[in-house]
A and B are shown apart, each in its own frame.
Chain A
Amino acid sequence: MHELSIAESVVRIASRQAEGRRVTKVQMKVGYLRQVVPSALTFGFGLLAEGTPVEGAELEMEQIPAEGRCRGCGIESRLGSFPLQCEECGGFDLEILKGEELMVESLELEEA
């Protein structure tokens, strides 16, 4: 359940960034490689938001697929399931370009 710690951090970030206003929605970007279970994160978020400016806010997660550049052939491709492998040449030596995001992207705030 690292989702609980992540939720705690999301609520903390949103509360601070809200600057005294109520938060109605939190939009996140979550990379595929982060192994975050969305339902667990949503559950933790709801629980930890209670009593904060984030209480009752909707949590929206955009899942970011993994992408990488092959150090062998130089081609960038989508990385599906493990093993992470270049779609072009099948190589395993990859520079990860996307899929490790874990970010609070934006908030929706009630107008003051």
Chain B
Amino acid sequence: MHRTAVKKVVRENVLDANDTLANANRDVFDRAGTFTINMMSSPGAGKTALLERTLERLRDQLRLGVLEGDVQTTLDADRLARFHIPLVQVNTDPGFGGECHLDANMVRSGLSELPLDDIDILIIENVGNLVCPAEFRVGEDVRVMVYSITEGEEKPLKYPLMFRSADLVLINKVDLLEHLDFDLEQFLGNLDAVNPGVKTVLTSAQTGRGVDEWCDWLGKRLEKV
């Protein structure tokens, strides 16, 4: 038996559901007066190490909170426990085989465990991945990317989606500059090609270089809110 097909025009954005939830998260943050950072990078770029430096630098001035996203384990959260700040770990593992990013719904699931009214800045440490997190807004005010110089100069051209979406790029592990062939000028050129004029800060979680400058940038963004 032959069945005829009928066409139905839908025109629905695939990410609408996520964006709706991201906006809802944003409302929650705004009502609580919480400034939210979505921190993204490859695995091993030094997000957690820089976060530790940042917490050391800012914890006496601002009330900080952290939402940790990882496919598995609470290792990162355990590292940050010594700061005695509100901290929640969201493992993406219960998703379809372990999601490679945080989406708005996963972030929402962690919010009930955070006293947002008592948090000035919430740092969301996304899952280490250069592609997927860029696609999913979670309700953040700013996107900060951590990029380590051990990753080479060409990555902005290979992964433009994430580099385009960043408000700030922290170029990390610069204490290794003298030991590597990394061409900083070439990297900055590639970065500028995909995200013209984006602000960058040279950092080293090892030596603490650039941490003041990055925290100053953050302070200025906070003032604008």
Contacts and interface: CB of A to CB of B under 8 A. Distances in A.
Interface residues of B, number: 35
Given A24-B5, A106-B8, A9 B17 contact: yes
Given A34-B161, A35-B160, A84-B194, A12 B17 contact: yes
Contacts of B135: 2, 5-6, 34
Contacts, number: 99
A49 interface: no
Given A2-B132, A5-B136, A35-B160, A102 B13 contact: yes
Interface centre among B5, B7, B196 (most CB of A within 10 A): B5
SS class, residues of chain A in contact with chain B: mixed
Interface string A1-21: 110111011101110010000
Interface residues of A, number: 34
A45 to B, nearest CB: 11
B198 to A, nearest CB: 12
A33 interface: yes
Q: Tell me which of B8, B15, B192 has the highest count of chain A C-beta atoms within 10 A of its own C-beta.
A: B8
A60 to B, nearest CB: 12
B196 A10 contact: no
B193 A83 contact: yes
* 5 pairs of A and B residues whose beta carbons are closest in the complex: A83-B193, A2-B132, A108-B5, A92-B196, A35-B161
